[in-house]
Structure 1
Amino acid sequence: MRSMDLFSSGRGAKVSYSLDDVPTLTYHNEQSNRRPIPTSAVKYYENNTYIDWSRESLIVPSSSSFISKKWFTVILSSIIVGYATAFIDLSSVWLNDLRKGICFSKVDTWSLLNPYSTCPADKWHDWSVILFNAKGVVSNIFVNFPIFLLLSFILVIVAAYITIEKDPLIKQSGIPEIKLIISGFNYKISEYLGLKTLFYKIVGLILTVSSGLWLGKEGPLVHVSCCILNILYDLIIGRSFENEAVRRELLSAATATGISVAFNSPIGGVLFVLESMTTFFMPTKIMWNSFVTATVAVIFLTGFKVFTDGQNFLEQDLFQVEFGNFSWLFLEIIPFTTIGVLGGVYGYLFIRFNSFYDNNGFRTRVHQRLASIFGLTGDKWGKYLEIIAVLLITSVLIFPIDVTKLPLNAFLKILFTACPTETVDNSTNFMCSASDGVTCVKLLFIVLQGFFLSSYTFGVELPGGILTPSLVLGATSGRLIGIVSQVVQKKFGTDALATCTERSCIVSPSSYAVIGAASFMTGITKLTMCVVVIMFELTGAVTYVLPIMLAVMISKFVNDGLCNENIYDSWLKNHFNKDGNVTGVPNEGKGTGLVNFTGLTSNTKDKLPDVLVKSVMIPLQKTKCLCLVPSEHFTRNSLYAFINDDCHEGYPLILNYSNPIYLGYVTKHELYARLSNIDDSTAIISLQVEGLPHSALSHQLHYERSISSPILQVDISIEKSMFVVNDLTSVVLTLETFEKMHLNYLIILDSNNRITQSMVGFVDRFVLANIIDSQFSSLNDELAGVMDASEFDIEGNFEDADQDQELLDLHRKRLSIELIT
């Protein structure tokens, strides 16, 4: 029997191999070598780096004081989120309606949360009536539209000023960045989730949504919720129990809270987190935290809305809930399937158009062109003019149709509602007109202009999300297909197509709108279960759950076949951390580092060739390592120069390049901290590391004795890698190891020299993330690098070639990964 120490210096782990080459791992529990991490220890993480999940999870507090503070924080934040959402809803609706006119009626006859739609028709006054007591087309064009445009212009300019000048971190929805933060990324936590960003996000969101642009508030409410939670975390928990793992555990619950109050869907919010957020924690733990916070937030939001509806205002359910009633025909599967296909295609086209506007310099050229027209210089003016141009086009297109001037969520509600027997509001609902042809033309016009405007607007320097616009476009498309289906039903009039219930015929355009909204939301987000639940909680469409599931499933299949990322992952891939030019900032320009291999579609995984990790690793000679025995002496100035000309967050520590024994990993922050205490800039420095192997320690002592000048010994702390792999490991195994173990880097050892643990390469999560983002296109020519059977030192005379190959595969797997903790 032969054996190999995986730890030197008495660290206690040993692998033994029997005569049949069967490995056995043994571990000697020596009390003297056990140094548990103190629970009070706080590790510093730089921006653009990932936290050490294995370390943070080991020091999660478990005291009763911490638990009580944790639950107090999440419940208090949920209450605040509920009231903040109510304030945003109320303010945005009132400012939006102010562009059209004022309701002169007793408050108890209409809803404060929807004045324009619920105000009695004879009590609503447009601006032309208020100012000139005039009605008609002329006054509508020359009075109402200019005031409508002027007020929209004021709202959007203030929102743009806040975003561009005051806090650029509030732009767009915030869900992609929150996803990164929850996965462990350290993205300007104190700023991005701080009080200043929270204030400007709320103000900017209200103004943007009120302006009438094709942007929603649902996504940004996730950012608002996480800001509130993070502020309370720092005030209540962070002072005595600071832990980055706990912070992200609670941020997951805050994400569910934001979605819950956005759609009034607590269960949907919980499922949204489980489906979309990559997290270290067990799903059951995240589910319970999210369930509590979502429930509390929606309860307080609902309690506030009780006081916003007038005493005489009756809001009926969108659907009549009849359990066990089969209220749709089997032949309707055809239009339901069509809606699902359209949803998948919509998601693909939206992402393609949105990426085209940003990645091909199109938006930059628009900025430059608009600025040159007005004789202005600077990209900042181009951003302002772009927003004004988008607002002008949007206002011109939506003003002629009354319902499109409503807030998007109010328009969505009208799409979900069946045509009443008599008109109860002041606006003309064209969808209930007698002419199906005119109605279809208007719906098609809304879909086309909404698609192009929303795909471009989701990218301007304004806060706003894409969930509500996608729901509106899907509901509009579904309603259009529903009208067509209803016409077909009436035209043929057979028993199979014209079955009616007591209330109405089976084909209901409003139910098709619900199915279309779910399908389009899946197409843009690739989410499934949470979309079905959100639509059910939003509408109460119990009898249409199965058609919604069918359309969502088809939308997901179609969209997966067309593209691999949802809108949020696409934005991260194309924009996040791509434009950095500052040398020395950790991971500048390297992208997100989000290794999400499990979430990829199957056709993407099929593109990955069967190659070894040495095909993707950074070879030793190209890896910037810190040498314990350097070829040139270290001084303070030389070490500063060593760490200042790159964007790495740390360096592998080896003996030297000629004898690359792997010793540990040194962070750049650790080096900076040690060098800042050195006064003599010319003294020769020898790095002192605790627990060195005897062979490395012998080389270092020999190196120090060979130097005649005085030596300054500098103690330095290193990270011990929990896992190392050798160059025979497959790329698939490496990817799954990074994802499942939440690793930040892997040291690649030489498979031919396992005793001394010689380093041959290095891989970090940013290298692998870029490989995933490129869909493995860089590996297509690497099949030649796969190890041949002749390279394995295995003797045997197998008559069955399959048996021979199976043994080779088992041998490779045994050699590929070594657990050393």
Structure 2
Amino acid sequence: MSGTTLGRSNIYPTDEDLFIAYSESLPIISSTPSNLRSSNSLSTEERDTHPAPPTFITHSDISQNHTYADDQIIPWRKLHAKQRIEESALQSSLTSSNVMKFLIKYNRWPIIITSSIIISFLTIFLDWSSTWLNDIKYGYCKTTIFGVRESCGAENWHSYGLGQSNILLEALKLMLIALGSIILALIGLFISRTSFWISKSGISELKMIILGHVNNEFLQPSIIVRKFIALIFVCSCGGLLVGYEGPLIHISCGVISFVIEKFLSSSLFFQNLNNEAVKREIISIGFVIGISLAFGAPIGGLLFSIENLRLGTRVNTLAWNGFVCSSIATFIFFEIHPFKRISINEAFKVDIANGWILFETLPYVFVGLVCGLLSLLFCKLHMKLIDIRTKFKTYDGMPKIMYKLINNSFAEISLVVLMTHLLAYPLEFSSLTLNNILSILFYDFDESLPNGYNLSIYQSPNKLFALAYYFIMLFILSNYSYCLDIPGGMLLPSLTIGATLGRIIGELVQIVQTKSGSNIFLQCYEENKKCVSPGSYAIVGAASFFAGFTNTSVAAVVIVFELTGAVTYLIPLMLGVVVSKTVVDIFGYKGFDELWLMKISKTYLSPELTETMSLSQFSEVLISDAIGDYDPHILYVDDVLLTVKELAEKLDSVYDENSGGHISNDGFVLLTNKFNCNLVGWINFNDLNQILKSSNFQSEKLVSFMTTSNEVKNENIIELDSYIVPSNEIIKVNAEYSLLSAYELMNRMLITNIFVCSDQRDGSGFKGILRMADLAKLIKK
């Protein structure tokens, strides 16, 4: 398959075909960009001189000052070519020694190792400070004021008002706790309102950035610092049932981005990394470090990143770099952390003496089935809540007081925190964090609980009711809490929801076992012992719900396995996850973050839709039937030349017409003239805008996009031919090309525009453009 022309015969190109541009396209830089030649025109001697000849690269692509507009997709192909040229140039300029060449090849390691160390210390402070602020509302450690309940022990922990049976004092205590939580939540909300990018987890946006989309503000140090501070207050308030795992990934990637910039400004030794494609490869390592530190699971974090990120050929680099850095960060985290150990995260440690019997296979499968269905319901409920909140915020038919309450985010979050405390107060574990509750759910209640959590409700006959009550409360309130404009994640709540559901099923199975005299449990019944461990069902439920919620498989098993160390229950874990993932796939669900992306982004194409689309009418739609809604902006290069002023005015009118739209990946189509409409090339609006603003051209000079010979050079004509994407590099297809095949191209090669011509070989008979935004809109319909 050609990298620039696609025929009707090759509808489904292979990954090798699609990614060939990433690894084999190398530019050749000449002092005269307009005289660049393709690899086919090089002589034998020239090919020996240039062993990896290029296709084309423009001056604007190799400019260090080039910036991209928000939502623009970076040109992966040219940026990888730029990286390889700059590495060769850097090696040539410094020394020819093999040692220096080795150091330049691996000069990203100081950046990612430094980042790993910084992120691990930030995570330690985040975990300790949020836990301490939550615990101090309920009591304090007698041995040290900065001790948390988890490490203090029951004998050294003093709870406020312990032993008081007065109803008024209990009510006062509840109100003071709720007031403290509201204050913490309001501080977090106040900080997060300073920028839109501070709220939510940030995983969806990071997936877009690593995919190649540009967001110039998302990873700025000011955003990361404010999100870190706000996250401490939100996670410590106790009335907002969200976790810090998702935001920690955002913070980790922001730290790596900051460290990259510092290293780039400190030495020319790292200048080959000053490349948007390379930066995204390094930032993706932050994704691995963040999720690994969140759960203390380096292998699970790596697998989660590979399953969630669309990396293409970059997966091999991420696998090794991510594994090393996540291992370093996790080791430092457990070695330095004041109340966690390196062997197994004590907050999730499992101690289940009983093994599992063959009959329990059916209940484990049932846990996976129920968790898969409820994870679907959970995600659909969240999207419905977003729509309801949006509708009520714009609906003026309700009472004035209610309208002001809903549109006041401070009042809304205060109400949510108060309601959470009131509903959770009857439960003895209302003072515990989600981490602590998850830990308790993994234990058998007739055993001694971890860290001195002696909760009498687990020995009471009402424990099933308490678990069911907590499950419903967590299912709804955690869902709504994530709708608020606060930093927070849903990974830990999804684990806790699944563990609670699994625990309920485990308790029911244990009741059947203890009350039944059937042959299945006959040996256990006669010996009066318990063969069923309800905690094991909590483990399977946590992994199953997490798998359905995130649409992962292997990662869910490994993360929960690393969390708990439950080697005995590895097969039940896999059974539950397989069933849950199968249920999710049957309903065509793509994960919580995928739903978010499809909701907030107009240019996002969900991956792995080929099978679903091939079964629909998409497989029969031609690309010519999908390009009618967009009228491209055309410049005719053979007609009268435009002045710089006229071109700037035309560009301004485009921005004015699309002030509310997304045109970051759009540009002017360059045709020869109005009669034959042969495609000459294409130039992005953002690139052209930067050229006109940065070059200080005189407004009366003429602009040409065509190459002229040296004999007819005119100093009054500004030639911009070196800045355009020429026709031989544009993806061109004929009018009968399948829309399903067009999706494959855009999804795998990250192409933003496909040009439709009568003859895709020479670009004659231009018909129109299929943009990524247009295709995403069609898929949503």
Give me the TM-score of the superposition, normalised by structure 1. Answer: 0.78
1:806 aligned partner: none
Q: Distance in 1 between matches of 2:390 and 2:720?
A: 52
Q: Is the 8 A contact 2:641 2:702 kept in 1?
A: no
Superposition deviation, residue 214 in structure 1: 0.8
Match of 1:59 among 76, 79, 82: 82
For 1:185-210, what per-residue CA distance to the aligned partner results, in whole angstroms no more than 9, with x for missing partners? 1012xx31122112111111111111
SS of 1:50's partner is coil
Root-mean-square deviation (CA, aligned residues, Å) is: 3.6
Q: Distance in 2 between matches of 1:227 and 1:503?
A: 56
1:341 aligned partner: 369
Match of 2:514 among 476, 490, 504: 490
Q: Distance in 2 between matches of 1:57 and 1:86?
A: 36
2:684 aligned partner: 667
Q: Distance in 1 between matches of 2:592 and 2:449?
A: 38
Match of 1:44 among 63, 67, 80: 67
2:149 aligned partner: 116
SS of 1:192's partner is coil
Q: Is the 8 A contact 2:676 2:764 kept in 1?
A: no
Shift in alpha-carbon separation, 1:443–1:179, aligned structure 2, 3 A: same
Superposition deviation, residue 500 in structure 1: 5.2
SS of 2:725's partner is coil
Shift in alpha-carbon separation, 1:316–1:748, aligned structure 2, 3 A: closer
1:410 aligned partner: 436
Q: Give the alignment of 1:185-584 within 5 angstroms.
A: 185-188=213-216, 191-212=217-238, 213-237=240-264, 240-241=271-272, 242-305=274-337, 307-308=338-339, 318-319=349-350, 327-362=355-390, 364-365=392-393, 372-373=400-401, 382-422=408-448, 427-430=453-456, 432-435=458-461, 438-497=462-521, 505-576=530-601
Match of 2:720 among 691, 715, 724: 715
SS of 2:619's partner is coil
Q: Is the 8 A contact 2:757 2:763 kept in 1?
A: no
Q: Give the alignment of 1:639-650 within 5 angstroms.
A: 639-644=650-655, 645-646=657-658, 647-649=662-664, 650=667
SS of 1:652's partner is strand
1:169 aligns with 2:197: yes
2:113 aligned partner: 75
1:773 aligned partner: 780
2:91 aligned partner: none
Equivalent residue pairs, number:
703
* Structure showing the higher helix proportion among its residues: 2
Superposition deviation, residue 620 in structure 1: 9.9
Shift in alpha-carbon separation, 1:370–1:572, aligned structure 2, 3 A: farther
Q: Distance in 2 between matches of 1:34 and 1:468?
A: 48
SS of 2:444's partner is coil
Q: Is the 8 A contact 2:623 2:742 kept in 1?
A: no
> AA paired with 2:670?
L
Q: Is the 8 A contact 1:66 1:237 kept in 2?
A: no
Q: Is the 8 A contact 1:689 1:718 kept in 2?
A: no
Superposition deviation, residue 431 in structure 1: 5.7
Superposition deviation, residue 278 in structure 1: 1.1
1:104 aligns with 2:137: no
Shift in alpha-carbon separation, 1:170–1:121, aligned structure 2, 3 A: same
Superposition deviation, residue 296 in structure 1: 0.6
For 1:704-725, what per-residue CA distance to the aligned partner results, in whole angstroms no more than 9, with x for missing partners? 99xxxx9754434201335322
Superposition deviation, residue 439 in structure 1: 1.0
Comparing 426-435 with 147-156, greater Cα deviation is found at 426-435
Q: Distance in 2 between matches of 1:366 and 1:215?
A: 26
Q: Distance in 2 between matches of 1:607 and 1:6?
A: 28
Q: Give the alignment of 1:613-652 within 5 angstroms.
A: 613-619=622-628, 622-630=631-639, 636-637=645-646, 638-644=649-655, 645-646=657-658, 647-649=662-664, 650-652=667-669
Q: Distance in 1 between matches of 2:674 and 2:389?
A: 43
> AA paired with 1:715?
L
Shift in alpha-carbon separation, 1:399–1:117, aligned structure 2, 3 A: farther
For 1:571-628, what per-residue CA distance to the aligned partner results, in whole angstroms no more than 9, with x for missing partners? 122234xxxxxxxxxxxxxx1x233332x38445422432354245424982222221
Comparing 202-211 with 563-572, greater Cα deviation is found at 563-572
Q: Is the 8 A contact 1:318 1:418 kept in 2?
A: no
Shift in alpha-carbon separation, 1:527–1:503, aligned structure 2, 3 A: farther
> AA paired with 1:545?
L
Q: Distance in 2 between matches of 1:256 and 1:281?
A: 17
Superposition deviation, residue 763 in structure 1: 1.5
1:128 aligned partner: 161
SS of 2:422's partner is helix
Shift in alpha-carbon separation, 1:49–1:727, aligned structure 2, 3 A: same
SS of 2:770's partner is strand
Superposition deviation, residue 330 in structure 1: 2.1
SS of 2:751's partner is coil
Q: Give the alignment of 1:599-748 within 5 angstroms.
A: 600=609, 602-603=611-612, 605-619=614-628, 622-630=631-639, 636-637=645-646, 638-644=649-655, 645-646=657-658, 647-649=662-664, 650-676=667-693, 677=695, 681=699, 683=700, 685-690=702-707, 712-716=717-721, 717-720=723-726, 721-748=729-756
For 1:466-507, what per-residue CA distance to the aligned partner results, in whole angstroms no more than 9, with x for missing partners? 011111111011000000000111121334225559996331
SS of 2:633's partner is coil
Give me the TM-score of the superposition, normalised by structure 2. Answer: 0.82
Superposition deviation, residue 334 in structure 1: 1.9
Q: Is the 8 A contact 2:352 2:444 kept in 1?
A: no
1:811 aligned partner: none
Shift in alpha-carbon separation, 1:424–1:468, aligned structure 2, 3 A: closer
> AA paired with 1:146?
M
1:750 aligns with 2:758: yes
> AA paired with 2:424?
I
Q: Is the 8 A contact 1:561 1:603 kept in 2?
A: no
The structure, 1 or 2, with the larger RCO (C-alpha pairs under 8 Å, 6+ apart) is 2
Unaligned runs of at least 5 residues, structure 1: 8-12, 18-25, 577-590, 775-821
Superposition deviation, residue 428 in structure 1: 4.4
Q: Distance in 2 between matches of 1:423 and 1:348?
A: 32
Unaligned runs of at least 5 residues, structure 2: 10-37, 47-52, 88-100
Q: Distance in 2 between matches of 1:295 and 1:236?
A: 23
Q: Is the 8 A contact 2:348 2:442 kept in 1?
A: no
Superposition deviation, residue 667 in structure 1: 1.3
Superposition deviation, residue 547 in structure 1: 1.0
1:784 aligned partner: none
2:40 aligned partner: 28
Shift in alpha-carbon separation, 1:289–1:376, aligned structure 2, 3 A: same
Q: Distance in 1 between matches of 2:397 and 2:496?
A: 32
> AA paired with 2:158?
H
Superposition deviation, residue 424 in structure 1: 7.0
For 1:395-417, what per-residue CA distance to the aligned partner results, in whole angstroms no more than 9, with x for missing partners? 11112212132110111011112
Q: Distance in 1 between matches of 2:529 and 2:219?
A: 50
Shift in alpha-carbon separation, 1:606–1:86, aligned structure 2, 3 A: same
Q: Distance in 2 between matches of 1:557 and 1:300?
A: 37
2:33 aligned partner: none
Superposition deviation, residue 549 in structure 1: 1.0
2:50 aligned partner: none
SS of 1:759's partner is strand
SS of 1:625's partner is strand
SS of 1:185's partner is coil
SS of 1:393's partner is helix
Q: Distance in 2 between matches of 1:552 and 1:601?
A: 24
